[in-house]
Amino acid sequence: MTMEQTAVTDYAMTDLNRKIDQLTAQVAFLTEEAQAQQRRRQEWQELQNDLTPIASDVFRISVNELEEVESYVQLEDILRLFKRLLRNTHNLEQMLDQLESTMAMFQEISPLTQDAFLTLMNRLDEAERKGYFAFMRAGMGVMENIVTSFSEEDVRQLGDNIVLILQTVKEMTQPEIMSMVRDSVEVLREEEPPQDVSLFTIVRQLNDPEVKRGLSKTLSVLRTV
């Protein structure tokens, strides 16, 4: 055999081996694909076997539940509602976006609200310790006594004269009036004067300028009354 024939034979054998390798690779790929499809079919069959009882239960429960509302809801109503939902898909997406934004904002301000709640509780506890709530409860009792003691006509008359009452209170709270009331209270708190007071002692006290001014004011009050 010549060298040219040997070279041709070697080339043919190499090309044949290459084709055999390609064919072997294709057969292996097809075999692997067939095995994968078989596994998928088996998994799908197992899934169907698992879901069939569940689907049967769901269908049975759905039928029982729908029987209860059959007189209120018709199939046309459900279809109309479904079509309406489809038409408002964009609106539903916007609502969900707003809900997500609200939840995100709530998560962001949640620590602030917790701090505000703790601050409020501390303020309320401080007010309770200082007696504000006890004062309010006592004030409510006073208010209840006022409400039960006065009739509607009394309240109406009080409203008609409230300006005069406030003006009188304003005048009574003037410094000179309050000083006079304080001095009078202090005199009343002093020891009781002796019972045996002579007329001469009284006449002598009338010469006191302070007594004269007091008598003058007293007579003015009596004149006004």
User: Domain residue spans in the chain?
Assistant: 1-73, 131-175
The pLDDT-based confidence of 196 (bands split at 50, 70, 90) is low
Q: Is the pLDDT of residue 207 over 70?
A: yes
DSSP letter (8 states) at residue 191: P
Q: Categorize the per-residue pLDDT at 148 as very low, low, confident or very high, splitting at 50, 70 and 90.
A: confident
Tokens 């310790």, located at residue: 129
Radius of gyration of the chain (CA): 53
pLDDT band for position 153 (50/70/90)? confident
Cα→Cα distances 31→21, 34, 37, Å: 15, 5, 10
Q: How far is CA 187 from the centre of its chain?
A: 59
Confidence of residue 7 (pLDDT cuts 50, 70, 90): low
Q: Which of 22, 21, 3, 27 is nearest to 11 (CA)?
A: 3
